[in-house]
Amino acid sequence: MISRPRAMQGFLGAAFVVEGLLFAFHLEGSELNWKAHLLLVMSIFAAAAVILAELPFPQSALLGVLRAQLVMLQGIWFMQIAKLLFEGAFLSAVKCMCCTTGQPCSDSITCNFSESVAVVRVRGCQAAG
C-alpha cells in the first residue's frame, strides 16, 4: 500500500473534520432537509475518524479500503441530497417553447435545423391550451 506523508494525512483528516463541522452547523430547515444533512454529517465524521486512525497505522489495508468506501458514500449521498432537495427547482426556469410556432409545447419537441432533426425531451412542460 502506498504510504502518504503523515502531515498530508493529518491535514486530510482535519479537512474532513472542518467539513463535518460546517455541515453540522448547517442543520436547519424542514425535517427532511435536517435528516438528510444529519446522515451526511455522520458519514463525513466517520471518514474523518478513519483518516485520522490511519496516522498510527499507515500500512493498514482495512483502513485504506474503509476510507475509500466512506468517501464514495459521501459523494453518493451528496448526489442523493441534490436530487431529493433540488429536483424540479431548475426546471421551472427552463421555458419550453416550440421552435416553429413559439407556443408552449408538450413533453417532446421535434425541431428542424436545416438538414438535421433534433428531438429534445423536457420534463415539466405542459401542452398549450
- pLDDT value at residue 64: 93
Residue type for position 75: G
- Higher pLDDT: 58 or 45? It is 45
pTM for this predicted structure: 0.64
Q: How confident is the model at residue 108 (pLDDT cuts 50, 70, 90)?
A: very low
Is residue 100 situated within a structural domain? yes
Query: 62: domain range?
Result: 6-86
Is residue 117 situated within a structural domain? yes
Q: Total structural domains in the chain?
A: 2
Is residue 32 situated within a structural domain? yes
Is residue 22 situated within a structural domain? yes
Question: What is the tens place of the pLDDT at every residue in 66-95?
Answer: 999 999 999 999 888 888 877 766 544 444
Is residue 48 situated within a structural domain? yes
Reported residue count of the chain is 129
Is residue 128 situated within a structural domain? no
From residue 121, alpha-carbon distances to 32, 86, 126 in Å are: 30, 19, 12
Q: What CA–CA distance (Å, rounded) separates 43 from 66?
A: 12
Looking at beta carbons, which pairs linking 109-115 to residues 24 or more positions away fall under 8 Å?
none
pLDDT of residue 36 exceeding 90, the answer is no
Helix locations, 25-125, DSSP H: 31-53, 61-86
